Amino acid sequence: MGHDLRAAVSDILGGLRLVAPGALDDHSRLQFERVRAAGEVMARLLEEGLLLVAEQTGAGEGTPVPVARLLYDLEMRWTPRAQEKALDLQIALSPDVPPVLVLDRIALERVLANIISNAIKYTDAGAVRISVTLDSCDEMRVTVTDDGPGFAPEVLERLFQPGARHTGADKPGQGLGMFIAKDMTARLGGTVAVDNLPEGGARVTLALPVRRPVPNDLPHAQPLPDLNGQHVLVAEDSEINQAVIGHMLTAMGATFDLAADGREALTLLQHRPFDLAIIDIEMPRMSGLELVRLLRAGAAPQADLPIVACTAYVLRANREAIHAAGADSIVAKPLVGIEPLGNAITRARARTAQGTDAELTPAPRDAVEMNEALFNRLMEVSGRDGALELLSRLIADLARIERGLVTALSKPDFDTICADTHVLIAISGALGAERLQKQAEALNQAAHGHNRHDTEILGRAVLAQVDRMIHFATNEVASRRDGRA
């Protein structure tokens, strides 16, 4: 849970740091800075809270941690901060380091946060480098070097004392970073050393005792695909998502080209070969679905290219449409970690997604909270043929509304949302789908008030309930045709 919370906050802060404040008007820039400042405070409070929990629960003895994933998360967290100062963040892992080590990840990340943030803060040009090695005594060494001014001699003497500052007054700070790092390292049974490099810059070396996990301790997560030598097309209109997916692909060893919409992606596909395509379904000019259909129809040379579809709405009906268009696997947005994308890529390359992603267990009747008395009375009054026709029209109407809401919610288009939910309220009320009716009414009200936050949250709930309603109606049709109802 601590890792997931930290990763979520890191994604939020990373996304904020990719926004260019200069492109905003004065009012928006002020609000943006308030959000970013609050996010930084939230991150610090989260770290303190996780430390307190660890101390109270006795956590800290260590758990199996995939080392590559740890370094990837560090890169995702600190690269945007480095980019703010036009610095290069370089991370290197020695090949003799085992893939999994038992360590206290929360405490280690807290130590590294203070060391890395100091390195970035006091470096004005060049790079910050992080390397991880393992010595013969199974002691992990994490070395952070920078191209900054280094430590003044008088600072080195009292660096690990509260209130010691890295350099002059032009870089204000509380001077607690290295003190906290030393204190936390001591709790972990390790040491931290600081020196200046002969060629300039500073070096901080963290040495920690770790152990290799026994077989029963090893995590059972599916390994990430090896994409070394693979070239990937990423068709995605969001710059933040482009950056996130790009970092993940780089971590898996791939190179990639970016396309901001379907037409640009099709042009790239027509002019150079790719090993894989990751295609966002909701894109301007040409949707991802249309792009996938054109590719499979031979509009580009590689009609059998493995395709991962990326979408915020992974409902049954959407999934069926995406697979029907020709995608091999689907990954849900937002991408909260590298594993879901890696798993989707593995499925796409193995050509197994059609048999795994498209199948769903039929939704039970109570999943849509039907007023069964009202629904059964309507079916009885309609007669067998009339009930089948009514249900068929219901499925068609719900599918049309679902498609319309998916598109409208992505913009958002409040007028379309209001129109579609108005029809949905009437349909659900007539059939006795009470939960869907209440959710549609709430979404309609939020859309009328142009409340983006509530519209997005309620929209997802309504789409999920519409999806269940379509499944319910489809099962009812099959049951009545077979004479079971």
Together in a domain, 183 and 199: yes
Together in a domain, 8 and 27: yes
Among candidate residues 356, 391, 417, the one where a domain is terminated: 356
Q: What is the domain count for the chain?
A: 4
Q: For residue 245, give the CATH number of its domain.
A: 3.40.50.2300
- Whether residue 76 lies inside any domain: the answer is yes
Among candidate residues 217, 246, 277, the one where a domain is terminated: 217
Domain coverage including residue 31: 1-57
Together in a domain, 456 and 433: yes
Q: How far is CA 248 from CA 75, 311, 312, in A?
A: 10, 17, 18
Which tops the pLDDT comparison, 239 or 356? 239
Together in a domain, 48 and 64: no
Among candidate residues 36, 57, 78, the one where a domain is terminated: 57
CA distance 485 to 478: 9
Select from 419, 429, 424, 413 the least CA-distant residue to 462. 424
User: Model confidence at 11, in pLDDT bands (50, 70, 90)?
Assistant: low
Q: What is the dihedral of CA 179, 142, 170, 12, to 10 degrees?
A: -100
Together in a domain, 67 and 211: yes
Q: For residue 109, give the CATH number of its domain.
A: 3.30.565.10
- Whether residue 144 lies inside any domain: the answer is yes
Strands (DSSP E) contained in 47-199 are 63-66, 88-93, 100-103, 127-134, 139-146, 191-196
Together in a domain, 210 and 64: yes
- Whether residue 225 lies inside any domain: the answer is no
Q: pTM for this one?
A: 0.40
When pLDDT is averaged across residues 37-46 and rounded to a whole number, the result is: 67
pLDDT in tens, 209-229: 887 765 544 444 567 889 999
Q: Is residue 327 pLDDT above 50, yes or no?
A: yes
What single DSSP character describes residue 22? G
Together in a domain, 374 and 426: yes
Q: Is residue 366 pLDDT above 50, yes or no?
A: no
pLDDT in tens, 50-75: 555 554 444 445 677 778 778 877 87
Q: Is residue 90 pLDDT above 80, yes or no?
A: yes
Together in a domain, 43 and 72: no
Q: Is residue 343 pLDDT above 60, yes or no?
A: yes
pLDDT in tens, 435-449: 888 888 888 888 988
Which tops the pLDDT comparison, 146 or 164? 146
User: Model confidence at 269, in pLDDT bands (50, 70, 90)?
Assistant: very high
